[in-house]
Structure 1
Amino acid sequence: MDSWVRFNSQSQAKEKIIRAAQYACTLLGYTLHKGGAGAQLRRTVSQLEAHMSLTRKLLRLGNSVEAIESAKRAIHLSDSILRLCLTVGHLNRAMYFACDNVLWAGKMGLLCKVDQRKWSQRSFKYYLFALILNLTRDVYELHLLMEREARRGAAKSPPSRDSSPCTAAWAVPPDPSAWLRGRLSLLATVLHNNPPLLLDLLKNTCDLFIPLDRLAIYPTGTGFVGACGLASSLLALLTIVHPWLKLKP
């Protein structure tokens, strides 16, 4: 099992490069359509995108195993919220990859009578659930870091005479705009000091629009989906090139 996970991890960079190229083709096809390019050129770009999608599915054949192994590791985390988000998120990723494998087998003719639309919709639902859990994890970690940074700032500032620490937390701010600016400044400081969290938050936010569009929950259009997919792919490649930028656990 461990040897398969190690082998599978070596193909992740290739899959991300092909993913970036696929969504670049999606964005290019949208641009050509808006620009009134010839039908033959648009058809060629569309076929190239389809071939890249099929190649990605081939490279992801073993990802369900890796996702299950990640879920088995996450279930031992001490933080209950992180444990829930990561474990259930990895299990949803495993189901997403399993549906993706069925789609690949159907397109290759290995499975007969595969309803491509049904399995595609099912796949995107698991993908959406996994992304929601990933974003929940990001927001939770962001909240913890902001609270820690706020306590650190409060410890450096002189104590207020007319309020205790307990009552200050629940008091209505005298100037809401100043309070909002302070929170935004705190948010910017935390994200600046934690590049892995910032990159993961941006990547998951970009990816979120893909299943939302494919499931017709929040249609954004082919061009926007292509731009989001390309951006998230480049961010994922950045974490592969620089592993310290990958959010842990």
Structure 2
Amino acid sequence: MSSVASQVILHPNVSKSLKVLGTNLGRDKLYRAVQYFARFLAWYLVSRGYKVQGARWNALKSHLALARKLMRLGKPIEHLQAALRAAQIAAEPGEQITTICRQLGYFGYLTYDTLVWANAIKFFNFKPSTAEKVSKNANRLWLAGILFSITHGLLKAGRLANDVRKLQNAHLTEKGQDVDRDAKLGNLYNARDATRHQFIIDLLDVWIPASNLGFTNLNDGVLGIFGLITSLMAFRQQWLAVNGK
């Protein structure tokens, strides 16, 4: 019995999971996945008349959302630093501008989101109208950050496609150039895959703040599925970053 328990507890995948969950990003993406699954399931149960069971999952969704806001305290500064670093490096103008705007959007979003958390735990006591304005500003900035991220992805994807085409059509005249070209192509392919991965996440996530602001009328079931998919995609990305491919 102890041998079986040891094999389970000390299994390599368990150790890898602990490494991922030992990072703030890993825990956040896992909590987010559960949060959006709970959002979907609450909608599904309530829509079929199971209000008591739906309320249980809705409560889980709300508490996880609040917990994630606490975990993100201080994160606005990370995005502000990223914006400043992006402004200091040489890059394609369009990509540089959209990167800076994206990071500033996320900085503003998470700053307002901190106020939403502070009001939720009664550290601040905003008037209902003020609380609504703070929440709307958070969602506006979140939406702006994602839209700039989508624009950045389109610009970067276009540049990478051109770079790949140029390398593939280049005429090699010296020995060893083919090896160098293959290495460069490999780096471009990796960058392209990462850009596409983030682009898919952004295309799904953009509907969440858009719906919160009333620009679309997608129900919680659809938004829950979108959030679950992007959370699992981001969690897998963090898994590979921590444990290697």
Please name the residue that 1:203 is paired with.
201
Provide Cα deviations, 1:123-179, integer angstroms capped at 9, x if missing partner.
0100011001111111011111222334455558xxxxxxxxxxxxxxxxxxxxxxx
Question: Which has the higher relative contact order, 1 or 2, with Cα contacts under 8 A spaced 6 or more apart?
Answer: 2
Please name the residue that 1:60 is paired with.
72
Return the match for 1:98 from 94, 99, 111: 111
Please name the residue that 1:178 is paired with.
none
How many pairs align? 202
The separation in 2 between residues aligned to 1:61 and 1:235, in whole angstroms, is 23
Return the match for 1:84 from 62, 86, 97: 97
How does the TM-score come out when normalised to structure 1? 0.75
In the alignment, structure 1 residue 122 sits paired with structure 2 residue 122 = no
In the alignment, structure 1 residue 22 sits paired with structure 2 residue 20 = no
Please name the residue that 1:137 is paired with.
152
Question: What secondary structure sits across from 2:215 in the alignment?
Answer: coil
| Gap runs ≥5 in structure 1 | 1-8, 157-189, 245-249
| Gap runs ≥5 in structure 2 | 1-21, 172-187
The separation in 1 between residues aligned to 2:47 and 2:170, in whole angstroms, is 56
Provide Cα deviations, 1:41-84, integer angstroms capped at 9, x if missing partner.
11111111110111011001111111111111111221222221
Which amino acid in 2 is paired with 1:63?
A: K
Change (3 A) 1:223 1:84: same
Which amino acid in 2 is paired with 1:107?
A: A
In the alignment, structure 1 residue 12 sits paired with structure 2 residue 25 = yes
The separation in 2 between residues aligned to 1:206 and 1:77, in whole angstroms, is 30
- Retained in 2: the 8 A contact 1:191–1:198? no
Change (3 A) 1:100 1:42: same
The separation in 2 between residues aligned to 1:155 and 1:91, in whole angstroms, is 39
The separation in 2 between residues aligned to 1:88 and 1:193, in whole angstroms, is 21
How does the TM-score come out when normalised to structure 2? 0.76
Question: What secondary structure sits across from 1:219 in the alignment?
Answer: coil
Q: How does 1:22-61 map to 2 (within 5 A)?
A: 22-37=35-50, 39-61=51-73
